[in-house]
Structures are given as C-alpha cells and as structure tokens.
Amino acid sequence: MEPEPDSYSYTLSLILITIPSFEIIAGIAMIFLLLLCAAFLSAAEVAFFSLETDDYEKIQQDNRNIGVRLLKLKEDTRRLHATILISSSVVNVAVILLFNAVLSKALSPQILGDWAANLASSSGFSLNMSIDMMGKSLGFLIALAGATFLIILFAELVPKVYARLNKVYVSSIMVQPMYFIMTLGKPLIGAIVRWTKAVERQLAMAPYSTGGLASRKDIDEAIELTVSRAEDTDQEKDILKSLLKFGDVTVSQIMCARVDVVAVDIQSSYNTLLEVVRESGYSRIPVYNDDFDNVAGILYVKDLLGHLRESDDFNWQQLIRTSVLYVPETKKISDLLKEFQRQRLHMAIVVDEYGGTSGVVTLEDIMEEVIGEIKDEFDDEPEVIFQKIDDANYIFEGKTLLNDVCRVVGIDTDTFDQVKGEADSFAGLILELLGDMPREGQEISYNSFHFRIVAVNERRIERILITIASGE
C-alpha cells in the first residue's frame, strides 16, 4: 500500500495548482492603492507639522496658489490633524478587511481549517468549534498580521522618514488632496473636532486634572525630537528648554550678588563718581547712603551727559532717580519681567527676608536666562569666569551661580536641587554639603561629581575644582 500523502504537502499542492482569479488580482491591486493612500497621508502628517517659517516662504515663492492654501491649512491645525487621522484610520481598516477578503478567496476555509486543526493538535490544544469556524478565525489572524506588517512598513515608517527629509516637496504635492478631503468631509470632521474640544474642556475641569497635558520631561523630549539636529539649531533648542524652565527660576538664581555690585555712596564727590562710571561701563548705578542696605536710588549714566564739564563740587545727587523697585529673592523672574514692563524699569534691588540688600537684578539678567549671555562693546571679560582643564575638570569661582556652573559643564540645571537647600552659588552648595567652612585642599563627593577646594579664606570659598566622572 502507498503511504498517505502528508497533509501539509497536500495543502501546498492545492495552493500551487490554484490559479488566481480576477477578484484576487483586483483585491491585491486595491490593497496596493490603499497602502499608497495611507503612505501619502502619513507623509503629509509629518511634512505639514514640521514646516518652519522659512519653508512657508519658499513654497509661496515657488507657487503662490499652493502657498495660500497651505497657510489656510495652517490656520486650522486641529481640523487638519483630525482629517489626517480619520482618513488614515479609514484606509488602514479598509486594508485589513480587504486583505482578509483576498485571503479568503485565495485559501478556502477547508484548507485554513486543516491548518488550524493541525496546529491545535500539534500544540496539544483542543478547540470546541467546527473546522469551518477554525479556518475563518485563522484566516482573519493571518490577514490581521499581514496587513499590520504592510501598514507599519510601507504606510508608516518609510513615508514618514521620507517626509522628514523632503517636507517642503511633500507638503506642496499634498496641499490640494488634503484641501479636497477637508472640504468633502467638513460636516463629519467638524463634528468630531467640536466633540473633542468638549471632552478636553471636561477633562480640564475634572478635580483630578493637573492642569497640564504633558509633563516637563515629556515636553523636553518632544523638543529633542522635533527640533532639527542641524548645527544651527542648537541655540533654538537651548532657548526652548530655557523657556520651559523660565517660570520656575527665582531672582536669587540670576541676580548679581551684593559683593559684586558696583555702587556709589551718595556722599562721593563728582570726580569719584565719574571714575566709577568709566571703570564699570554700566548704564545704571545704584546709589546708597552710608551702607548698601540703605539704597537712595538709581543713577542713570545718560543723565550725566550734559554735565561732563562740571567741577568736583557739582551736585550730582539731584540726578538720582528715587523710584526704586525692591523685590524679594524668592520672586519668580517671569513675574519680575511683567513688573519691569509695567513700571518701565530695567533694574531692581533684591532684598532678603530681613530687609537687607542681597544684590541687584536687571532686565538683561532675565533675557540672558532665555537666550544666553548678551555681550556688548563694554563686556571685555566673560560673565562666568572659569578655567577648563579638560572635558571633565573645571575650576570656578565660589561666587559663580549654580545655574551658570551647570550650563558651562553641560549638565541639567536641576542636578543639585536635592542637596543645594537655599544655596544659589557654587560656594553655597559646598557649604550645604559640608555644613561647615571647608579648608583648602578638602575634597567632597556627591553622586558622580567630585569637588576640591582650591582657595578659601576666613570668610568665603574663593575657587572650587569640579571633576565629572565619565558617563555623567
């Protein structure tokens, strides 16, 4: 007797002798077209939402009509995004259903049922269902897996990578189709957009709502992903990250400390005042009476321009502006910026909890917190004085603000938040870590950082060496 043919070989022979019908060929063609539509939609999503101002100008120069329509789409990004998402979802579902239909035509339920029965028996499972039902279930699972693979590869990954590299070209060719789809589906898309807005309002009003849709870490990661990695965009990323932290920065973190403030005594002679003005190069100088805790006002150097030839006994005190803004150390710089704008001032005196003067803060200090150091023709020396020994070793003055230390060495400005206490300077951090005045040469470690006191006197820590362990 001849042995029974192997069931898998028998099934394979049935497949091989089956000639694809017109319905199968048409179905495969439809799947290809739908995948192409899904690919265009995915590419459009990336291209539209990654365009920058220069890109819009370039498109308008090349084709004004396309540029005008693109700007109209930009004005309603919520509706545009909804249109792309709804269209992509419809197309993807259609691909899966059509894939399943083609598979059902290509493979009969009996063949799929035999496969399912063999799989169940070989794996030791017993399914209480008919062969036909098992075949249909297996066919749908195969269709789902196959369609998902095709969608992810050809309708998601490939087009999105291409669109990121050719965003202007993709946006130009997809403006007209997206404008047509948005017009065609306006009633449905409008209803969905209104419904999502209502849901968002309800969620925002919920008692458990935190008031924010994303954490700072999420936004920080989004900045890294969305901003181009070209060399000329590093400053843009720094500005965006600085704006993200802007609302949490206090005056004490950016102020000029009392020991570094250039100020004049109200009893000083006119020649002494002019000498201070020439040496400092500042446009505004605080004036105090006997002690810096008793600030009499602010002298604007421009007010001296008409009196440069006056004698030493000139009464320059009459030029002092007594409208002084006093702010606490804990005031947020975002609030101080609004106060500067409201009162049209550029300088404020920072006071501590006891009313003593801690230092001064200017509008320039606030702006530098966002856009980085601002240099003019009088800034001969760097604002942050440090010595870079190598990529892992730096020497800073003790009075250097912690924010500036972190920026220079390239670490997050909140690295020492858990141990710095109320300290804002590098020396203050060391005092918080030790709890006492250190001696010269003393070494302290914190996490991956190693500190060594380079110079210290009886009253203050002058210079500190920071060493960053590899991998930080």
Taking the C-alpha atoms of residue 282 and residue 194, their distance in angstroms, rounded to an integer, is: 55
What's the whole-number mean pLDDT along residues 162-180?
A: 86
**211 located within any domain:** no
Residues 107 and 10 sit within 8 Å (Cβ to Cβ): no
Taking the C-alpha atoms of residue 409 and residue 387, their distance in angstroms, rounded to an integer, is: 11
Residues 221 and 156 in one domain: no
Residues 181 and 57 in one domain: yes
Domain extent at residue 235: 216-246
pLDDT at 16: 46
Q: Percentage of residues in the chain with pLDDT exceeding 70?
A: 76
The confidence band for 238, taking pLDDT boundaries of 50, 70 and 90, is low
Flag the least confident range among 22-26, 174-178, 443-447.
Answer: 22-26
Residues 425 and 354 sit within 8 Å (Cβ to Cβ): no
pLDDT at 55: 74
Q: What is the CATH number of the domain that holds 440?
A: 3.30.465.10
Q: Write out the two tokens for 231.
A: 């060399």
Residues 192 and 129 in one domain: yes
Residues 86 and 192 in one domain: yes
The confidence band for 181, taking pLDDT boundaries of 50, 70 and 90, is confident
Closest alpha carbon to 338 in 350, 327, 322: 327
**379 located within any domain:** no
Residues 162 and 283 in one domain: no
Query: Looking at 246, 266, 295, which one is the last position of a domain?
Result: 246
- DSSP 3-state assignment of 448? coil
**19 located within any domain:** yes
pLDDT tens digit sequence for 125-144: 555 655 566 666 767 778 78
Closest alpha carbon to 112 in 83, 143, 91: 143
- DSSP 3-state assignment of 392? coil
The confidence band for 364, taking pLDDT boundaries of 50, 70 and 90, is confident
pLDDT exceeds cutoff 90 at 287: yes
Neighbour-count burial for 368-377, b at 16+ CB within 10 Å, e otherwise: bbbeeeeeee
Residues 391 and 451 in one domain: yes
pLDDT at 229: 52
Residues 96 and 13 in one domain: yes
**93 located within any domain:** yes
Provide the β-strand partners of residue 300.
284
pLDDT at 218: 64
**2 located within any domain:** no
Query: Looking at 205, 238, 273, which one is the last position of a domain?
Result: 205
Taking the C-alpha atoms of residue 197 and residue 398, their distance in angstroms, rounded to an integer, is: 52
Q: Write out the two tokens for 435.
A: 């709890």
Residues 222 and 164 in one domain: no
Taking the C-alpha atoms of residue 437 and residue 429, their distance in angstroms, rounded to an integer, is: 11
Residues 14 and 142 in one domain: yes
- CB pairs under 8 A, 24+ apart, for 432-441? 437/461
Q: What is the CATH number of the domain that holds 315?
A: 3.10.580.10
Residues 185 and 230 in one domain: no
Using left for φ > 0, alpha for ψ between -120 and 50, and beta otherwise, residue 311 falls in: beta
Amino acid of residue 89 = S
Residues 102 and 236 in one domain: no
Taking the C-alpha atoms of residue 231 and residue 15, their distance in angstroms, rounded to an integer, is: 56
Q: Write out the two tokens for 446.
A: 């914190």
Taking the C-alpha atoms of residue 466 and residue 207, their distance in angstroms, rounded to an integer, is: 46
pLDDT tens digit sequence for 75-100: 778 888 888 888 888 898 998 888 88
**349 located within any domain:** yes
Neighbour-count burial for 227-242, b at 16+ CB within 10 Å, e otherwise: beeeeeeeeebeebbb
Between 204 and 354, the higher pLDDT residue: 354
**Mean pLDDT estimate for the chain:** 79
Q: Write out the two tokens for 180.
A: 């047509």
**114 located within any domain:** yes
- The number of angstroms, rounded, from the C-alpha of 279 to the middle of its chain's C-alpha atoms is 41
Taking the C-alpha atoms of residue 443 and residue 67, their distance in angstroms, rounded to an integer, is: 62
- The number of angstroms, rounded, from the C-alpha of 74 to the middle of its chain's C-alpha atoms is 21
pLDDT at 255: 87
pLDDT tens digit sequence for 13-26: 555 445 567 778 88
The pairing of strands 256-257 and 264-265 is unpaired
Q: Write out the two tokens for 330.
A: 């804990």
pLDDT at 1: 44
Helices (H), 49-185: 53-62, 64-75, 77-106, 109-123, 131-152, 158-165, 167-184
pLDDT at 182: 84
Taking the C-alpha atoms of residue 212 and residue 357, their distance in angstroms, rounded to an integer, is: 37
What's the whole-number mean pLDDT along residues 52-68?
A: 73
**131 located within any domain:** yes
Total number of domains constituting the chain: 4
Residues 225 and 256 in one domain: no
What's the whole-number mean pLDDT along residues 219-233?
A: 58
What's the whole-number mean pLDDT along residues 327-347?
A: 88
Query: Looking at 311, 342, 371, which one is the last position of a domain?
Result: 371
